[in-house]
Amino acid sequence: MIDWMLRSKHKLKLPTEDEALPGRSAPLKMEAIHTVLKTELKPPYPEGTEIAYFGMGCFWGAEKLFWNLAGVYTTAVGYGAGITPNPTYEEVCSGLTGHNELVKVVFYPAQVSYQELLKVFWENHNPCEGMRQGNDIGTQYRSGIYVSNQDQAATAQASKLSYDSALREQQCDLSTTEIVDQFDFYYAEEYHQQYLAKNPSGYCPNHSCDATGLPRFPKIT
C-alpha cells in the first residue's frame, strides 16, 4: 500500500534524491541506426551539426515530427532531466526517476534553425498542463526545453516569453515549460526508437495548437 501511494503521488510531483529509484550503471541496449533516416543515433555526429532536446508529451509522436524536418540529421528518444541513472521505461512511468520523455534532435543549423525547431515544439503540444499532456498523466509528460549551449538557452527563454505573451493576450494560462541547461540524457529501449515508423498505426495523440485551441507560435523578433 505504501509503495502504491508513493508511486501515485509522483505521477504529479518530482521525487527527491532519497525517493528516486537506484537505476543501474549500464546503459540500455539499442541499435545504432535510425530506422527512417539510416543515420547514426549515437555520436560522433557530422561536423556542422548541433543537438537539441525537447519534452512535449509522449515521445513517439514527437520524434516523428522532427525526423520529417529537412535539415535534421538524426533523432532519438530517451529519458532526461531526472535522477535515476539508465532508467527503464517502466521505472520512468512510475514517477520515481524524475525523468521526462525527451526527443533528441541532431540538426544542421545552416539548414534548419533552432528557432524553427522551437516553432515545432510550441505548436505541437499544450505547454500549459503541468505534469501531463491530455490523458497522459505523469512527470514524464511535462513540457520542457533542454538546451545544449548558451545561445540555445537565450533563444529558448525569449521564445517562452513571446509565447506566454500570446497566451496572456488570449487570457489563457501561461506555459509551465521548464528550460534546463544541466541534465543527463539516457537513450530509451530499442522498441521506442522511431516507434511510429515501426508501428504506423501506433498511439499518437494530437496535442497540437489546432487541437487545443492555443495560439499559433508568435514570430521571434
Catalytic residues: 58
Please check whether residue 121 is in contact with residue 145, taking contact to mean a CB–CB distance below 8 angstroms: yes
Radius of gyration of the chain (CA): 17
Strands 185-187 and 50-56: unpaired
Per-residue DSSP letter, 128: T
User: CA dist 158 to 103, 115, 193, Å?
Assistant: 21, 10, 31
- Return the beta strands (E) in 37-184 as ranges: 50-56, 72-80, 100-107, 132-133, 136-137, 143-146, 178-180
How many residues are listed for the chain in this entry?
A: 221
- CA distances, 80 to each of 162, 182, 216 (Å): 25, 10, 27
**Would you call 161 exposed, middle or buried from its count of C-beta atoms within 10 A (0-12, 13-18, 19+)?**
exposed
Instruction: Give CA–CA dist 87/23, Å, rounded.
Output: 5
Residue 185: closest CA among 92, 118, 122: 92
